[in-house]
């Protein structure tokens, strides 16, 4: 989970996709964790997480009133309607899995350092989608746990719930 994945990334377009609903513009971009600036530093294999552990998206939503991400109405369907994933609500929900894996490696006295593995965690936390917002713009990362680590992904449906001034909107993208 912490070393480079060495598995094929999702065979999906990673270009930004935009949707407009009721004067609110939402853009989503599928990201590969191993390519992110907060996940890069010199050395072999040491990182917060690799492409296998999570599906990662950058979401940017702009409107004219206060917006709030609704994780309860956010889901990712991978390859078939039977494989539905729910988001990790906060950055620490992602990091708890990493801490566990790193501690296990320390217990086995391998050549990696728990502190080194998590040294960029604050940069990752700062980029995660906030649960509370007082702004007409939402921007951040959303991660979904990859439950089948070696699954080749050929299609995804991403649904994002957003609340604004007493109204719930649901954005939806098909990624192929």
* Contact (CB, 8 A) for 69 and 129: yes
| Span 122-141, pLDDT tens digits | 888 899 999 988 899 999 99
Phi (first) and psi of residue 30, to 5 degrees: -75, 130
Domains of the chain, CATH where assigned? 17-175 (2.60.40.3340)
Neighbours of 4 (CB within 10 A): 13
| Span 103-116, pLDDT tens digits | 777 777 766 656 66
How many whole angstroms separate alpha carbon 12 and alpha carbon 10?
5
Q: What is the average pLDDT value for the chain, to the nearest integer?
A: 83
**pLDDT at residue 17 above 60?**
yes
**pLDDT at residue 94 above 50?**
yes
Return the higher-pLDDT residue of 51 and 114.
Answer: 51
How many whole angstroms separate alpha carbon 127 and alpha carbon 12?
23
Token readout for 141 is 């990362």
pLDDT of residue 5: 56
């Amino acid at each position: 989970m912490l070393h480079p994945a060495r598995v094929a990334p999702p065979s999906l377009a990673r270009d930004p996709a935009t949707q407009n609903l009721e004067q609110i513009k939402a853009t989503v971009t599928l990201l590969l964790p191993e390519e992110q600036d907060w996940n890069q530093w010199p050395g072999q294999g040491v990182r917060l997480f690799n492409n296998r552990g999570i599906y990662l998206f950058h979401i940017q939503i702009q409107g004219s009133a206060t917006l709030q991400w609704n994780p309860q109405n956010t889901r990712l369907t991978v390859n078939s309607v039977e494989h539905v994933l729910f988001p990790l609500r906060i950055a620490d929900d992602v990091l708890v899995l990493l801490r566990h894996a790193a501690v296990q490696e320390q217990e086995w006295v391998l050549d990696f350092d728990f502190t080194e593995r998590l040294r960029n965690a604050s940069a990752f936390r700062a980029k995660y989608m906030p649960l509370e917002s007082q702004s007409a713009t939402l921007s951040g990362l959303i991660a979904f746990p990859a439950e089948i680590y070696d699954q080749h992904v050929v299609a995804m449906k991403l649904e994002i719930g957003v609340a604004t001034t007493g109204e719930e909107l649901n954005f939806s993208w098909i990624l192929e």
